[in-house]
C-alpha cells in the first residue's frame, strides 16, 4: 500500500511513496542558460553584421577569455548571402589584429554584467594560428538563418580563444554568438 505524506493547510501538497520506496513527485526544471541568465545576468548575445570576408578562409569573429571563470559558447545563429557558405569554429592562439571591438548585449535586460573577454569582429582578423577545428556550420540557403548548438557547449577557459572562419570569400555573414559565464 502506498504511503501518502501531506502538508498541513488548505493548499496541501502530497507526496506519494510507492511499494518500491520511490517517491512520485512533480518537478520543474530549467536549462543552465536560463538559470544563469535569471540569477546572475551573465548570458550575452554577441552580434556581428554584414561581415564580408576580404578573401577565402578569413577569420571574422574572435573571442578570448580574459577572466577567471570559464566562458561557454552555447549557440551560433548565422546567415550568409552566398549559398553553401561554410563557417568554421577554431581553437586559436596568437594575438588578434585587424578587428574592431564588439559590445556584447546582456540577454537579461536588467543586467549590467559584461564578460571578461576580448571580443572582435572584422573582415580579416589576422595574427591567429589555427590550433584545431572545433565545429563546422553550413549556411546552405541564401539569407536563411542557421542555428548551431553544440551538445556540450564550447568551453573557453581563462587565456584561451576561439575564432570564426568563413571559407567562402564575399559570403557576407551576419549572426549572433551566445556566450555565458559558467558558475
The rounded distance, in Å, linking the Cα atoms of 154 and 141 is 25
- Asked if residue 33 is part of any domain, the answer here is no
Whether the per-residue pLDDT at 122 is higher than 80: the answer is: yes
Q: How far apart are CA 65 and CA 157, in angstroms?
A: 6
The pLDDT-based confidence of 158 (bands split at 50, 70, 90) is very high
115 lies in a domain?
yes
Number of domains in the chain: 1
pLDDT at 3: 58
The radius of gyration computed from the CA coordinates of the chain, to the nearest angstrom, equals 22
| Predicted confidence (pLDDT) per residue in 67-78, tens digit | 999 999 999 999
Span 40-84, pLDDT tens digits: 999 999 999 989 898 899 999 999 999 999 999 999 999 988 877
Helix %, strand %, coil % for the chain, to 5?
A: 5, 55, 40
Q: Is residue 17 part of a domain?
A: no
Nearest CA to 174 out of 140, 146, 148 is that of: 146
Query: Which domain covers residue 158, as residue numbers?
Result: 43-181
Between 17 and 176, residue with greater pLDDT? 176
Q: What is the pLDDT of residue 126?
A: 97
- What does the alpha-carbon distance between residue 168 and residue 55 come to, in Å, rounded to a whole number? 7
Q: What is the pLDDT of residue 7?
A: 56
What CATH number does the domain containing 70 carry?
Answer: 2.60.120
Amino acid at each position: 500500500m502506498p504511503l501518502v505524506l501531506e502538508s498541513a493547510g488548505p493548499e496541501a501538497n502530497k507526496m506519494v511513496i510507492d511499494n518500491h520506496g520511490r517517491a512520485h513527485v512533480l518537478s520543474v526544471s530549467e536549462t543552465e542558460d536560463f538559470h544563469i541568465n535569471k540569477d546572475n545576468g551573465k548570458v550575452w548575445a554577441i552580434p556581428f553584421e554584414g561581415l564580408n570576408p576580404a578573401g577565402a578562409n578569413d577569420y571574422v569573429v574572435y573571442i578570448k577569455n580574459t577572466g577567471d571563470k570559464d566562458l561557454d559558447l552555447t549557440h551560433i545563429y548565422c546567415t550568409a548571402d552566398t549559398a553553401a557558405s561554410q563557417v568554421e569554429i577554431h581553437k586559436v592562439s596568437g594575438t588578434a589584429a585587424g578587428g574592431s571591438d564588439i559590445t556584447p548585449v546582456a540577454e537579461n535586460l536588467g543586467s549590467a554584467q559584461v564578460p571578461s573577454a576580448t571580443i572582435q569582429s572584422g573582415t580579416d582578423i589576422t595574427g591567429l594560428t589555427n590550433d584545431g577545428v572545433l565545429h563546422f556550420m553550413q549556411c546552405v540557403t541564401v539569407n536563411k538563418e542557421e542555428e548551431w548548438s553544440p551538445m556540450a557547449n564550447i568551453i573557453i577557459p581563462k587565456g584561451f580563444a576561439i575564432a570564426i572562419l568563413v571559407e567562402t570569400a564575399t559570403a557576407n555573414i551576419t549572426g549572433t554568438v551566445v556566450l555565458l559565464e559558467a558558475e
